[in-house]
Amino acid sequence: MRITTTVNGTEHEVDDVWAGESLLYVLRERMGLPGSKNACEQGECGSCTVYLDGEPVCACLVAAGQAIGREVTTVEGLATEGELHPVQEAFVEAGAVQCGFCTPGLLVAAHDLLERVPDPSDLEIREALAGNLCRCTGYEKILDAVRLAAARQARP
């Protein structure tokens, strides 16, 4: 099967994709974009979160064929011209990263939240990130990072 998908603004074409591959596998193993992580492969942890046609999804549960002709943005697509996105900067500054495995998924989820809700309440942050599990940080620093990014966004 041939997969043609626009990823981070660039059209990618991959041949000989087996139908049983997930979008996550295609991104990581065929397109050389290992930013999105594979952990549970079951939709439980959110470490594989990418935008598919503008909406965050778990790439591990998207069958490769379902990505044909669609637009994907991965964590690699958040930074522009070598400049980290403010959400990424906030994660670094707040110390929201330990082992880093959950980070790419959290960045996409947090990025999406702040696009939709510029000034989220703590409850809104918690609910928006409920699909992203982190085994290291205890979440407090992650909440700090999202609050920081939101505040910066309000006063650039």
Ligand X SMILES: Cc1cc2nc3c(=O)[nH]c(=O)nc-3n(C[C@H](O)[C@H](O)[C@H](O)COP(=O)(O)OP(=O)(O)OC[C@H]3O[C@@H](n4cnc5c(N)ncnc54)[C@H](O)[C@@H]3O)c2cc1C
Interface with another protein by CB under 8 A: which residues? 1, 19-20, 22, 41-43, 46, 49, 52, 55-58, 61-66, 109, 112, 126-128, 130-132
Contact status: 43 vs ligand X (CB under 6 A): yes
Contact status: 47 vs ligand FES (CB under 6 A): yes
Q: What is the CA radius of gyration of the chain?
A: 15
Coil vs helix vs strand at 8: coil
Nearer to another protein, 16 or 81 (CB): 16
Which string of DSSP letters, residue by residue, matches 52-74? Answer: ETTEEEEGGGSBGGGGTT-EEE-
Please provide the size of the chain in residues. 156
Count CB neighbours of 34 within 10 A: 14
Binding-residue pattern over the window 71 to 110 for ligand FES, x denoting contact by CB under 6 A: --------------------------xxxxxx--------
Q: How many residues sit close enough to ligand X to count as binding (CB under 6 A)?
A: 2
d(CA 61, CA 125): 24
Contact status: 144 vs ligand FES (CB under 6 A): no
